[in-house]
């Protein structure tokens, strides 16, 4: 999980996180954004020639994917879904806004990008407070061993960088700690 979710462990009676570890974790920073999921009835056609698109020209929407196309899943029983990620500036600006208000803003912008999109049967608006790491934890290449007995290791892209390679590098770093501990 993102480090801000781990920090409440620090005042525990077992002191799982030392003060210096807490300070290191607090130095990491994250971007924020919203994700919007649009869900459709089986048989609905989402008529676009692409499965996913990065959008740089919209102040609100940064990424749109037609999830069933992106995953190459065609089904007559399950309807398609569309996933929209907002830009970081939009996410930060509206981070404390109500989901209903933010959802309406995103849908209005989506209409300018995909004006012929069918009406969904369900919409899910998700606030993503800790989206991507913008500054990783310093001096911890891939992981931080919080406690030795019991062994407690913290890892993830927050110790490297936000992408699949960063997550893989962290996992390999954690594996080395585990091997050395056993």
- pLDDT at 6 exceeding the cut of 70: no
* CA distances (Å), origin 152, targets 6, 17, 20, 175: 12, 10, 16, 13
* Cα–Cα distance, 85 to 112 (Å, whole number): 15
| Angle of CA points 57, 31, 38, to nearest 5° | 60
Question: Domain 3-28+136-181 is classified in which CATH homologous superfamily?
Answer: FAD/NAD(P)-binding domain (3.50.50.60)
Choose between 3 and 98: higher pLDDT.
98
- Mean of pLDDT values over 20-47: 87
Q: In whole numbers, what is the pLDDT of the chain averaged over residues?
A: 85
Q: How do the domains of the chain map onto residue ranges?
A: 3-28+136-181, 31-133
The CATH topology of domain 31-133 is Polyamine Oxidase; Chain A, domain 2 (3.90.660)
pLDDT category, 115, cuts 50, 70, 90?
very high
- pLDDT at 135 exceeding the cut of 80: yes
Choose between 35 and 149: higher pLDDT.
35
pLDDT category, 52, cuts 50, 70, 90?
very high
What DSSP designation does 132 have? S
Can you give 82-128 as a three-state secondary structure string? EEEEECHHHHHHCCCCCHHHHHHHHHHHHHHHCCCCCCCCEEEEEEE
If you average pLDDT over each of 49-53, 75-79, 120-124, which comes out highest?
A: 120-124
Using an 8 Å Cβ cutoff, are 167 and 156 in contact? yes
């Amino acid at each position: 999980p993102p480090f801000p979710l781990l920090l409440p462990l620090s005042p525990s009676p077992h002191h799982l996180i030392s003060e210096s570890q807490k300070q290191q974790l607090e130095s990491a920073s994250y971007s924020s954004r919203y994700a919007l999921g649009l869900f459709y009835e089986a048989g609905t056609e989402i008529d676009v020639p692409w499965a996913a698109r990065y959008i740089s020209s919209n102040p609100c929407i940064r990424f749109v994917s037609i999830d069933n196309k992106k995953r190459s899943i065609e089904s007559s029983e399950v309807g398609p879904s569309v996933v929209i990620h907002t830009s970081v500036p939009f996410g930060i600006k509206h981070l404390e806004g109500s989901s209903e208000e933010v959802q309406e803003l995103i849908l209005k912008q989506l209409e300018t990008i995909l004006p012929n999109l069918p009406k969904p049967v369900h919409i899910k608006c998700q606030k993503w407070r800790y989206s991507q790491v913008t500054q990783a934890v310093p001096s911890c290449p891939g992981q931080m061993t919080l406690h030795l007995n019991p062994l407690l290791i913290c890892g993830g892209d927050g110790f490297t960088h936000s992408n699949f390679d960063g997550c893989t590098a962290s996992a390999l770093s954690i594996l080395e700690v585990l091997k050395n501990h056993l």
